[in-house]
């Protein structure tokens, strides 16, 4: 941790820590990191049993055996309630989400049910069972969202804001960009395409993204959770954006090959729900520094809670009926409605 980093040991030590999506890239690294601070228990909740089992085995083999695995969807409220009742987690990291941008454009109702109403379940139960803190893992794609995935994460942030106001649980959000080497990220895709002899595909030569390593992201997530008091949107300093075409060239060269000679690079065009450049999570003109390096608190856009909650009920009904175009339309109405400051 950095010199200014908060005392994470006092945050996680002796606590029961729930990580939803604990089998995913960020979830796994969170479980590893939290285990070093002597929590009373780590609960890994995930719908995908293979990854959950692998991180469970890894922790046990490393000597941390106070770990439980629950195979469930966050959309399954009865199973989730049973989990909260059994373990009474004091710290909740909610990382479970559908994150693949093009797939969510084609599966709008599923994206809404999982990312919005699954989040609602987790936050409601965290407050009901008096967790000390709940931290929602969000994304730079939630800033002025143009795609379904980003819009669902923005709706999840709005839910987190309201949950913080309603209960004693300190509910906060953390936004960051892409993570090198995460499941579904561009680096493993490039590596596979190179191994197959090419071509390597990028959407557009002008496309740029913000990146950080998994370990960096989790270090900052833990620090943000430690300093959170509730209601904050923490924005992580992601550094300078990387050009995806240039990144593809770097990966090709790392294999001892020459871009566009040994391995061709093909631009496929932007996909639905994507933009050339993601928003920087940290707008220094509209953000406050915190006691932790590279972590800022960004101002949220005000919204009408009554309108939001009324429209959420209709959104859920439409999503359960899989009325895709209506779900998409209402989702963007919800995340774009704001009250006057």
The β-bridge relationship of strands 16-20 and 41-46 is parallel
End-to-end Cα distance, the chain: 37
The β-bridge relationship of strands 91-94 and 208-209 is unpaired
Catalytic residue positions?
A: 141
Q: Residue 9 has which token pair?
A: 């040991």
SS3 call for 131 = coil
- Exposure string of 156-165, with b = 16+ CB inside 10 Å and e = fewer, is bbbbbbbbbe
Using N-to-C axis directions, what is the helix angle for 324-336 and 305-320, rounded to 10°?
Answer: 170
Instruction: Tell me the C-alpha distance between 180 and 280, whole Å.
Output: 17
- Exposure string of 46-63, with b = 16+ CB inside 10 Å and e = fewer, is bbeeebbeebbeebeeee
- CB count within 10 Å of CB 272 equals 12
């Amino acid at each position: 941790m950095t010199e200014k980093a908060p005392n994470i040991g006092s945050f996680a030590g002796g606590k029961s820590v729930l990580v939803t999506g604990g089998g995913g890239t960020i979830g796994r690294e969170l479980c590893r990191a939290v285990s070093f601070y002597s929590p009373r228990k780590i609960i890994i909740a995930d719908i995908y049993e293979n990854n959950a089992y692998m991180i469970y085995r890894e922790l046990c083999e490393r000597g941390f055996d106070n770990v439980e695995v629950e195979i469930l969807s966050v959309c399954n409220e009865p199973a989730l309630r049973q989990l909260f009742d059994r373990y009474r987690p004091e710290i909740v990291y909610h990382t479970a989400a559908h994150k693949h941008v093009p797939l969510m454009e084609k599966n709008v109702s599923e994206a809404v049910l999982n990312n919005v109403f699954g989040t609602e379940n987790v936050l409601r139960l965290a407050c009901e069972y008096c967790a000390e803190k709940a931290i929602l893992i969000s994304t730079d794609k939630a800033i002025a969202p143009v795609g379904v995935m980003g819009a669902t994460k923005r709706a999840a942030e709005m839910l987190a804001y309201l949950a913080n106001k309603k209960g004693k649980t300190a509910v906060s959000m953390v936004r960051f960009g892409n993570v090198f080497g995460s499941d579904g990220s561009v680096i493993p895709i490039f590596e596979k395409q190179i191994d197959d002899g090419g071509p390597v595909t990028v959407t557009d030569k002008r496309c740029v993204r913000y990146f950080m390593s998994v370990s960096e992201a989790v270090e900052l997530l833990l620090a943000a959770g430690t300093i959170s008091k509730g209601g904050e949107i923490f924005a992580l300093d992601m550094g300078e954006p990387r050009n995806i075409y240039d990144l593809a060239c770097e990966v090709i060269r790392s294999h001892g090959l020459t871009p566009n000679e040994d391995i061709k690079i093909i631009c496929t065009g932007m996909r639905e729900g994507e933009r050339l450049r993601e928003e920087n999570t940290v707008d220094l003109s509209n953000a406050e520094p915190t006691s932790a390096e590279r972590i800022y608190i960004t101002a949220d856009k005000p919204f009408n809670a009554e309108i939001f909650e009324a429209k959420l009920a209709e959104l859920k009904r439409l999503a359960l009926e899989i009325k895709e175009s209506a779900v998409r339309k209402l989702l963007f109405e919800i995340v774009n409605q704001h009250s006057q400051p």
